[in-house]
Structure 1
Amino acid sequence: MGGLDVLVFYVPVADTDAVLAALFEAGAGRVGDYDSCAFVAPGRGQFRPLAGADPTIGHLDQLTHVDENRVELTFPREIRAHVVAALREAHPYEEPAFHVLENQA
Structure 2
Amino acid sequence: MNDEHKSEGQGESGSASEGHGLAISALVLGIVGVVSSCVPIVGLPTGIVGLILGVSAKKRGEGGMATASIVLGIIAIGLAIISMIVGGYEVVQDETTVNTTQLLLW
Which category of TM-score, normalised to the shorter sequence, fits these structures? under 0.3
**TM-score, normalising length from structure 1?**
0.25
Q: TM-score, normalised by structure 2?
A: 0.25
Structure showing the higher helix proportion among its residues: 2
Bigger-Rg structure (1/2): 2
Would you tell me which structure has more strand in proportion to its own residues?
1
- Higher RCO (C-alpha 8 Å, min separation 6): 1
